[in-house]
Structure 1
Amino acid sequence: MEPSVLSFKKLSDDNFKQWRFNMQMLLAERGLWGFVSPDQEDAETPPDEKATSKELNQYRKDQQRAFATIVLGLEEEQKGLVQNCKSAKEVWDVLRSTHEPASRAIAQLRQTFLSLRLEPGENAIDVGYLDT
């Protein structure tokens, strides 16, 4: 039986790069990376029409395991992003497009934004984070 507790931190707003690597390794170790891999060589292909019902059931079961493994690796605030996804690949793609910046400038702005913190009783306008 596989452990139900992750051995790494769940995905939050500020740890995507490390989480992505750890989740990729976990999925690979469980033989499920092919369900989310962007590389055609690694991609899991659905069984053809000649597949037995046992093979079809195993494929569906593995698909569900990949989906569940990824979603269970998310902090609660991240789950809203993927609640309408139908497959592990769709979840992976949504998380990548949300957390992976398109450029270095965007990455720097995002990091600056995520590092902003207010003390209790402060508001964004008084501190200067927002202009009125």
Structure 2
Amino acid sequence: MASAQPVFRDGCSSNKPPCFIGEHYDFWKIRMQTYLEAQGDDIWDAVENGPHIPTTIINNKGEIKIKNSWTDDDKRKVLFDKKAKNMLQSALEMDEFFRISHCKTAKEIWDTLEVTHEGTIEVKRSKLNTLSQEYELFGMLPGESILDLQKRFSHLTNHLSALGKTFTKY
């Protein structure tokens, strides 16, 4: 008798990107970045820094190449953004997809989701300050179990990490 195959819920497979339905963005962002990085450094680079734009030097100036003059390397590098864009779109439910459907690049999708769910730089800075203060004053609540304390602490540090706070181990 064959053994039963494990059943994965949507987003719990290493082959599919984690699904984002509009809630818990900080959790999804960490998982999605890890997923994209696992597809290759070039894929994540396209998300973080934008797509490769094939250029050539003419008269000491960089000029964008016309598509029929792209080298095989240019074509390969341009494809990284298309793959990243596909992965990001595939990870979004309908409302989130329509929010980014106008975006032309993977970086634009990522940045749009980030501003939508984390806010502008000023909003992020304010959230970071508030959460940092909560971190500094963190303590056990009356009647709280160790498990609940750990869960609350992990949630707090994950929020801080998603906003760019780094922690050192000593």
- Both proteins in one fold, TM over 0.5: yes
TM superposition shift of 1:4? 5.3
Is the aligned partner of 1:75 residue 2:98? no
Question: Counterpart of 1:49 in 2: which secondary structure?
Answer: strand
Do the aligned residues in 2 keep the contact of 1:47 with 1:55 (CA within 8 Å)? no
Question: CA RMSD of the aligned region, Å?
Answer: 2.8
Question: Counterpart of 2:56 in 1: which secondary structure?
Answer: coil
**Could you tell me how far apart the structure 2 residues matched to 1:4 and 1:68 are?**
14
From the CA coordinates, give the structure whose radius of gyration is larger.
2
Tell me what 2:112 maps to: 94
Do the aligned residues in 1 keep the contact of 2:52 with 2:77 (CA within 8 Å)? no
Tell me what 1:23 maps to: 32
Instruction: Give me the identity figure in percent.
Output: 23
TM superposition shift of 1:5? 2.6
Q: Deviation digits for residues 52-97 of structure 1, max 9, x if unmatched?
A: 6101111121110011111111111111111111000000010000
**Could you tell me how far apart the structure 2 residues matched to 1:74 and 1:19 are?**
10
Tell me what 1:61 maps to: 79
Do the aligned residues in 2 keep the contact of 1:11 with 1:74 (CA within 8 Å)? yes
Is the aligned partner of 1:14 residue 2:23? yes
Q: How many residues align?
A: 99
- Structure 1: runs of 5 or more not aligned: 108-132
Between structures 1 and 2, the one with greater strand share: 2
* Aligned-partner residue type, residue 36 of structure 2: L
Question: Counterpart of 1:81 in 2: which secondary structure?
Answer: helix
Tell me what 1:104 maps to: 127
- Structure 2: runs of 5 or more not aligned: 1-13, 58-68, 131-170
* Aligned-partner residue type, residue 36 of structure 1: V
Tell me what 2:156 maps to: none
Tell me what 1:118 maps to: none
**Could you tell me how far apart the structure 1 residues matched to 2:89 and 2:110 are?**
9
Between structures 1 and 2, the one with greater helix share: 2
Question: Counterpart of 1:57 in 2: which secondary structure?
Answer: helix
User: Higher RCO, 1 or 2 (CA under 8 Å, sep at least 6)?
Assistant: 1
